[in-house]
Amino acid sequence: MHELSIVLNIIDIAEKEAKKADAASISAIELSIGKLSTIEPVAFDFAWKHGVKNSMLEHARRITNYIDGKGRCNKCSTEFLMEALYQPCPQCGDYFSEIIEGKELQIKSLRIEEKIET
Amino acid sequence: MCITCGCGTDEAHIVKDGHNHPENHHTHHHGHTHSHSHGHDHHHVQDRLLHLEKDVLHENALLAERNRGYFDAKEIVAINLVSSPGSGKTMLLECTLKDLKEDLSFCVIEGDQQTSLDADRIKATGTNAVQINTGKGCHLDAHMVLHAVQELKPKENSVLFIENVGNLVCPSMFDLGENQRVVIMSVTEGDDKPIKYPDMFHTSGVCIINKTDLLPYVPFDMDKAIENARKINPELQFFPVSCTTGEGLGEWYNWLKKQVRHLQTA
């Protein structure tokens, strides 16, 4: 259940950035999560629901982009869709490949609301 | 208050000599509302998009690099031991610490959710150890290790073992600043373990297969296990051992000594 500590990390970063920008609130957050990043979407949703309570993200809309895993074979350089770490290269069958996409765990952006003093 | 890392929200406790040092210097102030002491009124709210592109584990990565720099400077070989609960991490440590105490200098960080039982076992071998209790946390992180190292003060040219919380999933995400990650599995767990929990085998450099003395009694195929692990990580190095009979431990010890020599000559 490391998803909860990931959610707490996200809250921490988002609140720091929002305060730095002098935001009154956060209305939306966009995340990129690679499908090979060990984040389980169901566990993540559950951790989010409970983790964000009483934080600046409690009422923020969450947009989560799950990114497909992509491997490149170290033997024949074929690039292929990687659904699991032990997937062989579809071209030559070798297991020695490099992950080039799918390990992401990023906050892409925050939409904040600023108060304008008049 | 932590002055070295400006740290945040940990529930972790570092236990040394039976005393508990709560590590939660400051906590999240959720529900913070923005207050102004000046006399303006707020009439408009304006939307703004902040492009962050920030890694969620960025903070952990920075602290891990800080730990790694400290280990490099003091020529300490830091080894992160990961496995499921009950694979024999602590027993492997006990054997290693006793058998190599004349050859190498050791200290140990023990990670468990509760109790200091493992640190007590390590201390009984005459080795300096601290226990981190992660509370509800399922893994160690670089920040906990930073504070444990401050407590432990490992000697130059020594080996620091970090025994992670028994869990084959979560600890794989958290770099502690170690030089080597060693995954331990035991023959009673089945030869399909690597493909069931691929991430840990993917991020480790060495795989110890423990409890080989039980091979006659369990349907465990050693070749199959190694083949499964190599599908995930073709560079993984294997040491089949039995901590009960001592079989295979010599090769593991030689590997360990080589790591220390390698660091000294690097």
Cβ count near B34 (within 10 Å): 13
Q: How confident is the model at residue B137 (pLDDT cuts 50, 70, 90)?
A: confident
pLDDT greater than 60 at residue B37: no
Question: What tokens appear for A11 in the block?
Answer: 């809250």
Question: Cβ of A109 and B52 within 8 Å?
Answer: yes
The answer as to whether A90 is a domain residue is no
Question: What tokens appear for B239 in the block?
Answer: 């040491």
The answer as to whether A87 is a domain residue is no
- From B32, B52, B170, residue closest to A56, measured CB to CB: B32
Q: What pLDDT score was predicted for residue B27?
A: 40
Per residue in B177-186, pLDDT (tens digit) is 999 999 999 9
The answer as to whether A76 is a domain residue is no
Question: Cβ of A105 and B55 within 8 Å?
Answer: yes
The answer as to whether A89 is a domain residue is no
CA distances from B206 to A29, B81, B112, B114 (A): 39, 10, 22, 27
The answer as to whether A88 is a domain residue is no
Q: Which of residues 4-43 of B touch A (CB under 8 A)?
A: 8-9, 28, 30-32, 34, 40-43
The string of DSSP letters for B25-62 reads -S---TT------S---EEEEEEEEEEEEEETTHHHHH
pLDDT greater than 70 at residue B87: yes
Q: Are B184 and B81 in contact (CB under 8 A)?
A: yes
| ipTM of the prediction | 0.88
Q: How many Cβ pairs within 8 Å bridge chains A and B? A: 138
> What average pLDDT does range B195-204 have in this prediction?
95
Q: Which of residues 123-142 of B touch A (CB under 8 A)?
A: 137-139, 141
Domain count within chain A: 1
Which pTM value belongs to this model?
0.86
The answer as to whether A85 is a domain residue is no
Q: Which of residues 147-166 of B touch A (CB under 8 A)?
A: none
Per residue in A48-76, pLDDT (tens digit) is 999 999 999 999 999 999 999 999 999 99
Q: What pLDDT score was predicted for residue B260?
A: 92
B47, B48, B56, best to mutate vs chain A, most A CBs in 10 Å: B56
Whole domain around residue A43: which residue ranges?
2-68+102-113
Q: Are A63 and B206 in contact (CB under 8 A)?
A: no
Q: What pLDDT score was predicted for residue B7?
A: 57
Question: Cβ of B46 and A113 within 8 Å?
Answer: yes
Per residue in A69-79, pLDDT (tens digit) is 999 999 999 99
The answer as to whether A79 is a domain residue is no
Q: How confident is the model at residue B15 (pLDDT cuts 50, 70, 90)?
A: low
The answer as to whether A73 is a domain residue is no
Question: Cβ of A108 and B53 within 8 Å?
Answer: yes
Looking at residue A15, which CATH number applies to its domain?
3.30.2320.50
Helix and strand totals (H; E) in chain B: 8, 10
